[in-house]
């Protein structure tokens, strides 16, 4: 997955093993956030799970030298058909 993201220009990090380690560490931290954390702004459509997924994706891509603008992943409560 991370090699494909790099190949499409969505991230700049070149080592898929490092990318996986960053992702797993962030996954753990996002999962451990309390529900009332200011880092989890709930969206109308996504609720708590959507907020956690959005935070995980945005933070992972940012940490790996990319942004969610280069992906087809729906973020912030969007559906894939919305944009």
**Reported pTM:** 0.72
The answer to whether residue 22 sits within a structural domain is: yes
The answer to whether residue 65 sits within a structural domain is: yes
- Domains held by the chain: number: 1
Average pLDDT for the chain:
80
The answer to whether residue 39 sits within a structural domain is: yes
Contacts from 9-14 at CB under 8 Å and sequence distance 24+?
9/66, 9/70, 10/61, 10/66, 10/67, 10/70, 10/71, 11/61, 11/64, 11/65, 11/66, 11/70, 12/64, 12/65, 12/66, 13/64, 13/65
Higher pLDDT, 40 or 32: 32
The answer to whether residue 79 sits within a structural domain is: no
Q: What does the pLDDT average to over 75-82?
A: 40
Range of the structural domain that residue 53 is part of: 2-71
pLDDT over 80 at 20, yes or no:
yes
pLDDT over 50 at 10, yes or no:
yes
């Amino acid at each position: 997955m991370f090699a494909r993201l790099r190949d499409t220009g969505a991230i700049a990090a070149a080592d898929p093993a490092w990318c996986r380690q960053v992702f797993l560490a962030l996954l753990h931290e996002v999962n451990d956030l309390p529900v009332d954390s200011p880092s989890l702004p709930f969206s109308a459509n996504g609720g708590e799970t959507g907020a956690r997924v959005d935070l995980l994706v945005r933070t992972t891509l940012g940490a790996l030298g990319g942004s969610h603008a280069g992906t087809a992943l729906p973020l912030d409560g969007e559906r894939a058909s919305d944009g």
